[in-house]
Structure 1
Amino acid sequence: MSEAVPLPAGTTLGKSFEYGIDINLGTSAVPEWQPFRRISGFQPTFTPTTQDAQTYDDLGADNSDVTGWSFAIAFNVQVNRNTATGLYLPEIEALLARTRPSAKGEAAVVEVRWYHKPEIGTPNPADAGQGRATVAITRQNTGPNGEIEVLSVTLSGKGPYTEIANPFDGWDSTVAVIGTVGPEGAGDGDLVTITGTGFLGTTGVSIDGASLAATDYTVVSGATIIAALPAGDAGNVPVIVTNAAGASAPHTFTRGA
């Protein structure tokens, strides 16, 4: 008989490959998240910044306060290119653009997000982050025997990262389905709650044909989005949520002015 302590029912052991990372090819206001394809060796590092708080009361023992957190991310990525244009995949091109001699200041910064991406089951909703970083790249395979071209990438964070809702909606992602939008009668600038399914991985929200900036909506969970109403006339308007699988069917919402 096994002496191992039993695990709760429904528990599964995590795998080393169950993470993903995306790069923003758009802007912070209107992001265009592109997953890095063919990665391995994903390794995030979170390092505390500490200050000495030692006093006589510590009787000679160390006493440090954490005053901030830095982050860095390392991973390897295979280099695929278009044989017609010669260009690498857009996520690779975006990294290389930040390492050219002309890349200084903000031109040397990328915005990335990373997240739990399990093979089976529901992704951890809180195991995800987003931040800005500078880029360092080295070639991994340099031998003469025709090895696969692989880049080793190191991202050094600029400031702390932001905790975000996990954007991964599962391998069998489907378009979002909107159930309700409320409260009815909400007007310009008011917050409305959108409920439904398939909201993890949302890439856009539109109300009456107006695409909201990323700062004007928050994906709370796979079932809830909070959005600020853009300026518009009172009446029935369509609300659409878009994710990686496509756009939801329009949901009619009665808004105020």
Structure 2
Amino acid sequence: MSTPTDVTALARRWRLEINMGTVDVPDWQLCPAIVEFQPEFEPNFEDSGTYDDEGWDDSDKTGMGWKITAKFNRKKSADSTIYHPVHEKLRTTALLGWGADSKIPVRWMDRDGMPEAYQGNALVKWAPEGGEKNDLDQVEVELTGSGKLLEIDNPLAA
């Protein structure tokens, strides 16, 4: 039996999927061509210290937030007539979505089937990188959690 310190996990282990269907009939599709992926989990701590603590700080966790920042190479069809549908869903949600239409169901998981896997709804920021004449068309997307983040069974687990 191998020990858990044999091999170092790689940053590229993450897989991001977007629900292209509905809540009732989900259609989870890969967000392709990711070159950077950064999940963040941000707790909110509030000072709960009192005189009874004899000068020692005390805090309580009162909330939790999450966010994903991902950068990807923008993909288009071979005949240059359409962009990848998942990339377009992110773009149109970010630029044209208001109210409930501004949130998108996302999930991300370890592509090797390890236990880490999460799902939630997110607001989308879309930021094309621009660049010089020989640069790739890259976009940075920020997915800010809206509501509860669920830990799910990894759909890629064996």
Q: TM-score, normalised by structure 2?
A: 0.90
Deviations 1:32-72 (A, max 9, x none): 00011110211000001223211112222221111221000
Structure having the higher helix fraction is: 2
Matched, 1:47 2:36: no
- Counterpart position of 1:164: 152
Structure 1: runs of 5+ lacking an equivalent: 1-6, 170-221, 223-257
Is contact 1:98-1:109 (8 Å) kept? yes
- Counterpart position of 1:58: 53
Runs of 4+ with deviation above 4 angstroms: none
- Counterpart position of 2:100: 106
Matched, 1:29 2:24: yes
How many angstroms apart in 2 are the aligned matches of 1:54 and 1:9?
39
Q: CA deviation at 1:85?
A: 6.6
Q: How does 1:1-257 map to 2 (within 5 A)?
A: 8=3, 11-84=6-79, 86-100=81-95, 102-118=96-112, 123-125=113-115, 127-143=116-132, 145-169=133-157
Structure 2: runs of 5+ lacking an equivalent: none
Instruction: Return 150-159 or 45-54, whichever deviates more.
Output: 45-54
Is contact 1:24-1:34 (8 Å) kept? yes
Say which SS state the counterpart of residue 129 (structure 1) adopts.
strand
Deviations 1:8-27 (A, max 9, x none): 27832111211111000011
Q: 1:75 and 1:9, CA in 2 relative to 1: closer, same or farther beyond 3 A?
A: closer
How many angstroms apart in 1 are the aligned matches of 2:81 and 2:55?
63
Q: Aligned letter for 2:123?
A: T
Say which SS state the counterpart of residue 94 (structure 2) adopts.
coil
How many angstroms apart in 2 are the aligned matches of 1:28 and 1:137?
23
Q: 1:60 and 1:8, CA in 2 relative to 1: closer, same or farther beyond 3 A?
A: same
Is contact 1:82-1:89 (8 Å) kept? yes
Q: TM-score, normalised by structure 1?
A: 0.57
Q: 1:10 and 1:69, CA in 2 relative to 1: closer, same or farther beyond 3 A?
A: closer
How many angstroms apart in 1 are the aligned matches of 2:69 and 2:143?
6
How many angstroms apart in 2 are the aligned matches of 1:136 and 1:148?
20
Deviations 1:183-222 (A, max 9, x none): xxxxxxxxxxxxxxxxxxxxxxxxxxxxxxxxxxxxxxx5
Higher RCO (CA 8 Å, separation ≥ 6 residues) = 2
Q: CA deviation at 1:160?
A: 2.4
The alignment of Structure 1 onto Structure 2 pairs a total of residues equal to: 157
Q: CA deviation at 1:99?
A: 2.1
